[in-house]
Amino acid sequence: MRATGVRRTVLTASAVALTLAVAACGGGDQDGGNGGDGKPKGDAAAKPAAKALTAAELEKRIVATADLKDHKVQEPGKDDVFDPASLTVDRAECEPVARVLSALPAGDPAASAQRLVVQESAASKKGMPSMEELAEMTEEEAKEATIDSLDITKTMTSLWSYGADGADQALGTLRTAGEKCAKGFAMTIDGEKQQVTKVTGEKLTAGEDAVAWTVGTKTDEDPVETKVVVFRTGTTLAGFSSFNIAAISRGEAYEQPTAVIDAQEAKLAR
């Protein structure tokens, strides 16, 4: 499966509730908590609903290369992202999972920003072995050297902002969808059919609330696992869809992109 819209490039791969600060009990005096002018006073007055960040504000808060050591952060290209209209699922309740797996927005945000974060290992920076080098290796050595050159983790990182309690609602919908769709579902995106084989919850502490999964997928290619994380800070959700090419090739497990998650959490908290 082409994870997070960047799968075209190498291989087919794949709350704590945000409450409105409204005083439910202001103590009150004999006038029911109002002053003589009839207006609520003190904590009895409802605060304005939280506002969504604008696209410009999100652009200032999304991770950049300067925020991460040994990572490259770039604008996603046209081949790195999906058209939301191209997504279909066989079970409607699983669409929220399919969307964030594909780095599409959760729910209906007011604004969004997105970056592709790439981390290359020392071996991958050397590139593919030359034909001359491969000729001097055994078959197993050549295979391992080739896979080592693909030891690259790609993480599509997204920020989505919502008005009022929209971020909290969207995260709650994601959590429920992950539970309902744990055993998998079928989806098609950009004309590519794939079977989600599992949605396995993982532990993660980030922001004010978070969901984290390992999502297994299978097409005609080898099985793929993608790390999917969404956390909330205020009225903003940060989403991550990440895969490691070498790990996919070897069928190995790999970790969540914690450096990217931590850097994004820190930047949102500023």
Which CATH number covers residue 76? 3.40.1000.70
pTM score of the predicted model:
0.79
Residue 181 lies in a domain: yes
149, HSE (Cβ side, Cα atoms, 13 Å): 12
If we measure between CA atoms, which residue out of 108, 110, 106 comes closest to residue 177? Answer: 106
Residue 34 lies in a domain: no
Residue 241 lies in a domain: yes
Residue 231 lies in a domain: yes
Q: Give the helix/strand (H/E) hosting 97.
A: helix 95-101
C-alpha to C-alpha distance for 66 and 54, rounded to whole angstroms = 22
| CB distance 221 to 2 below 8 Å | no
For 159-200, how does the pLDDT look when each residue is reduced to its tens digit (9 = 90+)? 999 999 999 999 999 999 999 999 999 999 999 999 999 999
Task: Give residue for tokens 């974060």.
Answer: 117
Q: Which string of b and e fits 182-192 if b means at least 16 CB within 10 Å? A: bebbebebeeb
| Overall residue count recorded for the chain in this entry | 270
Residue 226 lies in a domain: yes
Q: Which string of b and e fits 237-250 if b means at least 16 CB within 10 Å? A: bbbbbbbbbbbbbb
Q: How confident is the model at residue 216 (pLDDT cuts 50, 70, 90)?
A: very high
Does pLDDT of 17 surpass 80? no
| CB distance 166 to 158 below 8 Å | no
The total domain count for the chain is 1
Domain that holds residue 257: 3-18+50-269
Model pLDDT, residue 110 = 97
Residue 33 lies in a domain: no
C-alpha to C-alpha distance for 242 and 122, rounded to whole angstroms = 19
The proportion of the chain whose per-residue pLDDT surpasses 70, expressed as a percent, equals: 82
CA distances 106 to 30, 151, 161, 166, 248, Å, are: 46, 29, 10, 10, 26
Does pLDDT of 15 surpass 50? no
What phi-psi label fits residue 46: left (phi over 0), alpha (psi between -120 and 50 degrees) or beta? beta
Q: Over the chain, what is the mean pLDDT?
A: 84
Residue 125 lies in a domain: yes
End-to-end CA distance of the chain: 35
Residue 42 lies in a domain: no
C-alpha to C-alpha distance for 115 and 87, rounded to whole angstroms = 21
